[in-house]
Amino acid sequence: MDVLDNPAKRSRAMVAQLRQSQIYRDYEQAFREATGLPLSLRPLDALDLPHHDDPKQGPFCALMARTNHTCAECLQLQRKVEQEAQLGPSSLKCFAGMCDSAVPIRVGENLVAFLQTGQIFLHQPTPGQFAKVASQLMRWGSQIDMKTVEEAYFQTRVITKKQYESILRLLSVFAQHLASLGNQLMVQEEHAESPVISKARVYIAEHQDDDLTLAQVAQAVNTSAFYFCKMFKKSTGMTFTDYLARVRVEKVKNLLLNPHKRVSEAAFEAGFQSLSQFNRVFRKLEGCSPSAYREQLHAVVSAR
């Protein structure tokens, strides 16, 4: 991508593509229907409220978004949630006692986006709690009718802590799928590519488990190694070696979904020639060791 030097631009471009994917649109609809909660896929440093115009936005939060001071409070909370969700899911409560959460999406070592949900109570709210909220709103000079605010406050979804933790685990699993899709987007060219590069991609995909060299691929597409190397880097933004590594790592990740597949077996099946090379490349692209990745993956899946 031509915005790799700017994390915020890279994130916005990635999120725009992920939002258009069928897997995200299907999951977004299913999540809202199954949980009754809002869901937002957010780029880094987003400046708007995450669930604005979401069909499952909480009634109280929708009211608060209309006033300047409470809107600013909500934006500050969102920034804080995202700051604390750099490496894993994070949940915080707002001034009204409602819970908001963010789940990070990481492609290799890079944080690229967040999945966010929330606007719920983990315990049934009480009149005493609302009195404190109403008092705070009055101190801020809110012009909203308090009877309307009270009705919206007590209409907010109440979910047990255990249920909410399960929802966040589901989002964590989905975040891994989106990270995998994001990885694929990073190895695809954004613009139309030459038939030579398209043919090379197909050849690499079909022979990735071989001891593949740049010279072999260049020969397969009828170009010199020097010309192919230059053309491939210009077209994909990556060297042949980096591209092949990404393709192989993606295959390993798919193989590791099988709990009976050993990490070493997956590495060799994907085309890595040594475990030391595989471990080094996997850690560089995924930000953790293969074993740690598998433990996280199956821990989340088994907890569902």
d(CA 163, CA 12): 31
pLDDT band at residue 2 using 50, 70 and 90 as cut-offs: very low
Q: In the chain, which residues fall in CATH 3.30.450?
A: 7-185
What pLDDT score does 108 carry? 77
Look up residue 181 and give its two tokens. 């899709």
Number of other residues whose CB lies within 10 A of the CB of residue 72 = 11
pLDDT band at residue 152 using 50, 70 and 90 as cut-offs: very high
pLDDT of 189 > 50? The answer is no
DSSP string spanning 109-156?
TEEEEEEEEEEEBSS---HHHHHHHHHHHHHTT--S-HHHHHHHHHTS
What pLDDT score does 191 carry? 52
Please name the CATH architecture into which domain 192-302 falls: Orthogonal Bundle (1.10)
Decide if 182 contacts 43 (C-beta within 8 A): no
d(CA 151, CA 154): 6
What pLDDT score does 213 carry? 93
Residue 121, sorted as left (phi over 0), alpha (psi -120 to 50) or beta, turns out to be: beta
pLDDT of 210 > 60? The answer is yes
The domain made up of 7-185 is a member of CATH 3.30.450: yes
Residue listed under structure tokens 């909220």: 133
What pLDDT score does 237 carry? 84
Higher pLDDT pick, 48 / 174: 174
What pLDDT score does 192 carry? 53
As a whole number of Å, the end-to-end CA separation of the chain is 35
Residue listed under structure tokens 């070696």: 241
What pLDDT score does 304 carry? 46
* Average pLDDT for 141-150: 89
Runs of H (alpha helix) within 36-67? 59-64
Q: What share of the chain is helix, strand, coil (3-state, %, to 5)?
A: 60, 10, 30
Q: In the chain, which residues fall in CATH 1.10.10.60?
A: 192-302
Amino acid at 180: S
Residue pLDDT, tens place only, 41-83? 999 988 788 888 899 999 999 988 887 777 788 888 888 988 8
Mean pLDDT of the chain: 88
d(CA 154, CA 161): 18
User: In the chain, what percentage of residues exceed pLDDT 70?
Assistant: 94
Query: What pTM did the predictor assign?
Result: 0.61
Residue pLDDT, tens place only, 78-107? 889 888 888 889 999 999 999 999 999 988
Decide if 197 contacts 232 (C-beta within 8 A): yes
d(CA 150, CA 129): 11
